[in-house]
Amino acid sequence: MNPIGEKYLRKKALPFLWCPGCGNGTILGATVRAIESLGIREDVALVGGIGCSGWIPVYIDADTLHSLHGRTLPFATGLKMSNPKRKVIVFTGDGDCLGIGGNHFIHTARRNLDITVIMVNNQIYGMTGGQVAPTTPLKAKTKTSFYGNPEDPFDACELAKVAGATYVARWTAAHALSLSRSIAEAITHEGFAFIEVIAQCPTQAGRIIYGTADPARLLDTLKAQTVSVKSASKLDAEALQGKWLIGTLHHDKGKTEFSRSYFGMAGPRGGKPAA
């Protein structure tokens, strides 16, 4: 265990329940490094959803709420609004966030509530054994798309942006350093910050969709489907077809954050929340 792990993990909760080579551990590492760099351990409130990625905050020794499937964002809303000073970080998966939790996702983004949402996208329902997700590629065969997925996947970052998120970024689990810096930036950003992490699920997505259970090969395959924001400006629409844009995709510092707007508008205390 490296020093950051020694410092931040709940020893009793170990070992991680994730399969060998799963991207969630890398994302956990990037998150605790971001928390360490900002020195905000006692100010964070972590919320996890249901699914493999929802376990990330369970292993982090800070205040953690392991919530219900799809409902991370309402729980996070209650935590944030009962004390707007706390830094709420949500860990959710593509199914948790975009499937069962899709309505909460667009509304929390619309409010521009100051929380950080890290959505781990492995393109499949991993914990239940490899069923089709709202992010599964078109035509991909999964346990519940036996003849191929007839549906187009969501672009989660575009959805976040149009819904009202004011910080939107996408990385893969292979971009551990950039991801950690981006998480720190998202926590510091005052508003709804959304980070999608394309992560390898060797056991389910790897075997079922991509034909490989090798974590590195799978992550390379995913990475090959990405284009950095910088290089994208030089490419035409055809070259960008089916690619994930990587980097900070949207950063709007001008829009008023929800709790500020709420407490600014409401009541004679002039914007001060209850002690």
The rounded distance, in Å, linking the Cα atoms of 125 and 132 is 6
* Shortest separation between residue 39's beta carbon and another protein, angstroms: 14
Q: State which of residues 104, 161, 170, 189 lies at the interface with another protein (CB under 8 A).
A: 104
Residues 106-135 vs another protein: string with x where CB under 8 A?
A: -x----------------------------
**Using rule CB under 8 A, residue 25 touches another protein:** yes
Q: Distance between CA atoms of 80 and 3, rounded to whole angstroms? A: 30
Tell whether residue 260 is a contact of another protein (CB under 8 A). no
The alpha carbon of residue 251 and the mean position of all alpha carbons in its chain are separated, in whole angstroms, by 16
Minimum CB distance to another protein smaller for 78 or for 211 = 78
Q: How far is the CB of 258 from another protein (least distance, A)?
A: 9
Burial class (CB in 10 A: 0-12, 13-18, 19+), 5: middle
By C-beta, is 13 or 232 nearer to another protein? 13
Both tokens of 253, joined, read 């510092």
Q: Which of 30, 89, 132, 159 binds another protein (CB under 8 A)?
A: 30
Chosen residue from 38, 68, 163, 232 binding another protein by CB under 8 A: 68
Residues 190, 95, 249, 218: is their CA dihedral positive or negative?
positive
Name, in order, each residue with C-beta under 8 angstroms of 24's C-beta and a sequence gap of 6 or more. 16, 18, 52, 53, 55, 56, 120, 199
Interacting residues of 82 by C-beta distance below 8 A, sequence separation 6+: none
From 37, 38, 45, 190, residue interacting with another protein (rule: CB under 8 A): 45
Determine which residue in the list 109, 119, 244, 274 makes contact with another protein, applying CB under 8 A.
274
Residue 194 and residue 109 in contact, taking contact as beta carbons nearer than 8 Å:
yes
- Work out which of 5, 155, 207, 212 binds another protein, going by CB under 8 A: 5
Q: Does 264 bind another protein (CB under 8 A)?
A: no
Pairing mode, if any, of strands 244-251 and 167-172?
Answer: antiparallel
Binding residues with another protein: total (CB under 8 A):
75
Q: What is the CA radius of gyration of the chain?
A: 18
Q: Which is nearer to another protein, 211 or 267 (CB)?
A: 267
Site for another protein in 187-206 (CB under 8 A): 202
Positions 146 through 185 that interact with another protein (CB under 8 A): 173-174, 176-177, 180
